[in-house]
Amino acid sequence: MAADEKGTSSIVIEEVRKRFELTNGQSIEAVGHVDLEIAGGEFIALIGPSGCGKSTLLRMLAGLEQPSHGRISIAGETPEECIKHHDLGIAMQEHGLMPWLTAKKNVALPFRLAGLPVDEDRVDELLNLVGLQDFAEALPKQLSGGMKQRISIARSLVLRPRVLILDEPFGALDAVTRRLMNNELQRIWSQKPTTTILVTHSVEEAIFLADRVCLMSPRPGRLALIEPIELERPRKLETMQEQSFLNLLAKLTAALDEVCMPEVAT
């Protein structure tokens, strides 16, 4: 399956499991058995209890970890091949910016690391996209938490990846900034729909952004529920007050509570 004309990639996750061998000879199963097909340009949100293997699943998608079983294909390629073509962007809860580089140079860093000539126009375009063109010369420590995350997202997009992997990128932000950033992310994504997988602890965030919300059960994580979100796009912050949104929120929150603490929920 090749990339479609939008320049996005579909992802197939087949019977993927991950078992970590611990130093004491024991092993733990982090990801139980995950099957999922993601269409090109689709936005998937992944929620689930802490420690259920969400980050592990993302790391496997990003080629940072090998599945112990099963396979992952991104537009017919392995994640490693995908990385070699610079088709993958990641942004994590910890932004991982280089403190000695200015915002602009941080965004340009993927070009340097990939051994490509730095496309200054592209870097400026992304700084504009995340609204930080005036902070191009600022060092990370001179930026707020939200600004750093925006730089981190700009950095993940600079090589025009077909797949974007986000692991709680807004986890460290306050509620208001977080909603603002959700809005920003939606805007960025809708300008060029990129296949996106977002891990989040916020059910609201998941519903607001995603085409489908996947709920993982506790470790070893499996997909307990896949909920299509058919709210009209573009979604506005007011959408979060609408009844259809609230219904979804109630449903998914209950489902999350149930997988987290079955004895309490029943």
Ligand X SMILES: Nc1ncnc2c1ncn2[C@@H]1O[C@H](COP(=O)(O)OP(=O)(O)OP(=O)(O)O)[C@@H](O)[C@H]1O
Using CB under 6 A as the criterion, which residues of the chain lie in contact with ligand X when the complex forms? 20, 28, 30, 48, 50-56, 219
Task: Read off the DSSP letter of residue 62.
Answer: T
Q: Does 224 engage in binding with other proteins (CB under 8 A)?
A: no
Q: Does 202 engage in binding with Mg ion (CB under 5 A)?
A: no
Q: Does 228 engage in binding with other proteins (CB under 8 A)?
A: no
Q: Does 160 engage in binding with other proteins (CB under 8 A)?
A: no
Is the Cβ–Cβ distance between 32 and 220 less than 8 Å?
yes
The tally of CA atoms less than 13 A away on the side-chain side of residue 136 is 13
Binding range to other proteins, per CB under 8 A, among 30-38, 56-64, 183-191, 220-228: 56-64
Whose CB is nearest to Mg ion? 55
* Closer residue to Mg ion, CB minimum distance, 40 or 220: 220
CA neighbor of 105 nearest in space, from 86, 79, 126: 126
Q: Does 110 engage in binding with other proteins (CB under 8 A)?
A: yes
* Closer residue to other proteins, CB minimum distance, 109 or 249: 109
At its nearest, how many Å lie between other proteins and the CB of residue 165? 8
Q: Does 55 engage in binding with Mg ion (CB under 5 A)?
A: yes
Distances in Å between the Cα of 11 and the Cα atoms of 14, 38, 62, 101, 163 are 10, 5, 11, 34, 9
Q: Does 92 engage in binding with other proteins (CB under 8 A)?
A: yes
Binding range to other proteins, per CB under 8 A, among 10-18, 21-29, 81-89, 175-183: 81-89
Which does residue 180 touch among other proteins, Mg ion, ligand X, none (CB within 5 to 8 A, set by kind)? none
Which residues have CB under 8 Å from 200's CB, separation 6+? Answer: 45, 46, 47, 168, 170, 171, 206
Q: Does 63 engage in binding with other proteins (CB under 8 A)?
A: yes
* Closer residue to other proteins, CB minimum distance, 31 or 83: 83
Helix (H, G, I), strand (E, B) or coil at 32: strand
Which does residue 56 touch among ligand X, Mg ion, other proteins, none (CB within 5 to 8 A, set by kind)? ligand X
Q: Does 200 engage in binding with Mg ion (CB under 5 A)?
A: no
The tally of CA atoms less than 13 A away on the side-chain side of residue 177 is 13
Task: Give the separation between CA 154 and CA 135, rounded to whole angstroms.
Answer: 13
At its nearest, how many Å lie between Mg ion and the CB of residue 204? 18
Task: Give the separation between CA 4 and CA 76, rounded to whole angstroms.
Answer: 12
Q: How far is CA 134 from the centre of its chain?
A: 26
Q: Tell me the chain's radius of gyration from C-alpha atoms.
A: 18
* Closer residue to Mg ion, CB minimum distance, 30 or 143: 30
ω before 234 within 30° of 0 (cis)? yes
* Closer residue to ligand X, CB minimum distance, 164 or 256: 256
| Among residues 33, 85, 122, 201, the one that binds other proteins under rule CB under 8 A | 85
H-type alpha helices, the chain: 54-61, 79-84, 103-114, 120-129, 145-157, 175-191, 203-209, 243-260, 262-265
Q: Does 90 engage in binding with other proteins (CB under 8 A)?
A: yes
The residues that touch Mg ion, with contacts defined as CB under 5 A, are 55
